[in-house]
Amino acid sequence: MENSKIAERLEHLAALLEFQGASPFRLKAYRNGAETIRAAAASVASVFAQNQDLTTWPGIGTSVAEKCRELVETGSLKQIDDLEQEIPPSVLDLLRVPNLGPKKAATLFKELGVKDLEQLKVACEQQKVRSLKGFGVKTEQSILEGIRIAAQANQRMRISEADKMVRALREHFSAFRGLERFEFAGSYRRGKETVGDIDILAVTTDAAGLMDHFAKFENLGTVLVRGETKMSIRLDTGFQVDLRVVPSKSFGAALQYFTGSQNHNVELRHRAKTKQLKINEWGVFVIGSPAELANDPQLEGWVAGCEEPDVYAAVDLPWIDPRLREMRDEFAWADAGQLPKLVETKDIRGDLHMHTTASDGENSLEEMVAAARERGLDYIAITDHSQRVAVANGLNAERVLRQWEQIDKLNQQLAGQFTVLKSIECDILEDGRLDLPDEVLAQADWVMASIHFGIKQTRDEITRRILGAIEHPSVSAISHPTGRLINRREAYEVDIPAVIEHAAKHRKILELNASPKRLDLDDLHVRQARLAGVPIVISTDAHSTVQLDNLRFGVQQAQRGGLTAAHVINTQPWTEIRRWLRKS
């Protein structure tokens, strides 16, 4: 069982216990444990396999360690099974309604049989809630209002949604005169695949004016709070944006602080302490100095804070890219003077996954070629779906061979200016066979194999299918290896460490699908692939010309996995990739 799954189960257990009214202390133990495990470089399963002690990890006590052992050994937790006999998982959504604590939620469930947000809405509309003990007309009203927020709070913004909003905010704020500095912080700056809320930092001599301007943002829903230096709004989409106005001498420190991650910042502050320094959102201060006592950069004892690199320099560290600030490898790298030069979008030379009108794409082969050339790429692979994906008009052998003839002709016209690869996104069928005959696949330049059906199979079955595809001589890469759809569908059960190991052994490539709906592999898997020496291909899976621009989301995820250009195979010319594949 993977760390992310273990973490998710522990969090689920905490939620169930919270509903039962367990002590906050116990809940915190499980939640902290989950966080540690999710961020850990080593796998929990391997710790047990090597008979090591999990309680040596920070924040993991004996009871969390026991739960982890049970999860690894049995695949489930008896306590969760027992609790779910009484509490259906959907009931936990009730806790997301603002001001509806576990006690009231339990009453609604027990007295009215309310099992989810939808039923809660109906109960409120039928005025059944107001007559419960401890509730009233007012509570019923506020619950009704809170349901919409709760439904929204279920989800975090996908990075592409956040990106769109950030662009709009940037434009809006640029119209304000007197803005000295302005930057987005938080998980957005760290390039996370989903963003909980958007954090903005600003320096201005007119904070009140800036806040008035913020209140005129076109996508504003409501102003949540407004103070002297901080203002939070809810967007019309339900998501939150925090604005903080900071002194000029604190800008770098605040940017560092509010970029996070929290775990990264804890380590940074710890290092400062050993140097008799304190780092907070106001600056870097000598402990015990007048500046430190007053958090005032103007007083004696202020060390740094104007610029973010100064904050790191104060503790003898180089500036660390925000994409790496998840408390994984970054401090070890920095200490060794080995921070990687992360891959950038401009390093990418070709896109090896896209669809055309031949299957479920919106644009023709020629349009995709023109759009890719406009974007400065040197080559693309046309990977339409294979026949099994009938809903997407997948190609059978005959159609694919005809498409490849068309591509041959096109390449002749292109006369080496640009290369179109004969390719296919070939389904790995439910029984593990590939969806097209071997002799057809053997004629392709590049074959991506992927799973779209049989996604409910067991972990063993799905893993075996993928391992089998990796062994197939014509397969070049496995695309979207876990099948997750962000905010919509969990990954299918698959042993990714085994897939990575097998890819390493058979010299195959794994995809980092750059679609913001997928971003699959994720950053932690990408990191594992890097450690195993498996090349990553970052590709868009574009179903239209505009989606070719999604490359940057994939690049950002690769950066979070610590990849340099050398780890990403499509930073190479196509001839190099072909040579690498043929060596196998």
Q: Which does 425 bind (CB under 5 to 8 A by kind): Zn ion, ligand DGT, Ca ion, none?
A: Zn ion
- Toward Ca ion, which CB reaches closer, 59 or 196? 196
Helix (H, G, I), strand (E, B) or coil at 564: strand
**What is the Cα Rg of the chain in Å?**
26
In angstroms, the CA 33 to CA 47 distance is 15
Q: Which conformational region is residue 395 in: left (phi greater than 0), alpha (psi within -120 to 50 degrees), or beta?
A: beta
Between 191 and 483, name the residue whose CB sits nearer to Zn ion: 483
541 makes contact with Zn ion (CB under 5 A): yes
Contact (CB, 8 A) for 120 and 100: no
Pair of tokens at residue 422:
């004969």
Q: Which is nearer to ligand DGT, 14 or 389 (CB)?
A: 14
Find the part of the chain contacting Ca ion (CB under 5 A) among 120-128, 194-202, 245-253, 401-409: 194-202
What are the start-end ranges of the H helices in 154-231? 159-174, 186-189, 207-214
Are the C-beta atoms of residues 34 and 71 closer than 8 Å to each other?
A: no
Contact letters for Zn ion, residues 387-426 (x by CB under 5 A): --------------------------------------x-
The torsion angles phi and psi of 179, rounded to 5 degrees, stand at -90, 115
Q: How far is the CB of 291 from ligand DGT (least distance, A)?
A: 20
Q: Is residue 186 within the footprint of Ca ion (CB under 5 A)? A: yes
Longest Cα–Cα distance in the chain:
79
Which spans of this chain sit near ligand DGT (rule: CB under 6 A)? 186-187, 195-197, 199, 257-258, 260-262, 265
516 touches, from Ca ion, Zn ion, ligand DGT, none (C-beta below 5 to 8 Å by class): none
Nearest residue to ligand DGT, scored by beta-carbon proximity: 260
Q: Is residue 260 a contact residue for Ca ion (CB under 5 A)?
A: no
Mark 270-309 with x for binding to Zn ion (rule: CB under 5 A) and - for no binding: ----------------------------------------
Selection from 91, 21, 22 nearest residue 63 by Cα: 22
Non-local CB neighbours of 465 within 8 Å, separated by 6+ positions? 428, 429, 430, 432, 451, 454, 457
CA torsion 154→156→160→162, rounded to 10°?
Answer: 120
Out of Ca ion, Zn ion, ligand DGT, none, which partner does residue 135 contact, by CB within 5 to 8 A per kind?
A: none
> Tokens 């502050």 label which residue?
269
Token pair 């621009």 is at which residue?
A: 549
Q: Which does 350 bind (CB under 5 to 8 A by kind): Ca ion, Zn ion, ligand DGT, none?
A: none
Contacts for 376 with CB less than 8 Å, ≥ 6 apart:
none
Q: Which does 541 bind (CB under 5 to 8 A by kind): Ca ion, ligand DGT, Zn ion, none?
A: Zn ion
- Give the pairing of strands 509-513 and 230-235: unpaired
Structure token digits, residue 72: 């690894």
Among ligand DGT, Ca ion, Zn ion, none, residue 36 binds (CB under 5-8 Å by kind): none
Strand pairing partners for 428?
434
Select from 2, 242, 329, 435 the one that contacts Ca ion (CB under 5 A). Answer: 242
| Distance of closest approach, residue 202 Cβ to ligand DGT, in angstroms | 15
The one segment of 1-9, 129-137, 242-250, 295-303 that binds Ca ion by CB under 5 A: 242-250
For residue 206 the two structure tokens come to 């007119």
Two tokens, residue 213: 């301007």
Minimum CB distance to ligand DGT smaller for 261 or for 403: 261
Q: Choose the contact partner of 258 out of ligand DGT, Zn ion, Ca ion, none; CB within 5 to 8 A by kind.
A: ligand DGT
**Minimum CB distance to Ca ion, residue 244 (Å):** 9
Please tell me whether residue 350 binds Ca ion under the rule CB under 5 A: no
From 197, 206, 281, 501, residue interacting with Ca ion (rule: CB under 5 A): 197
CB of 157 to ligand DGT, least distance (A): 8
Interface ranges with Zn ion (CB under 5 A):
425, 541
Interface ranges with Ca ion (CB under 5 A):
186-187, 197, 199, 242
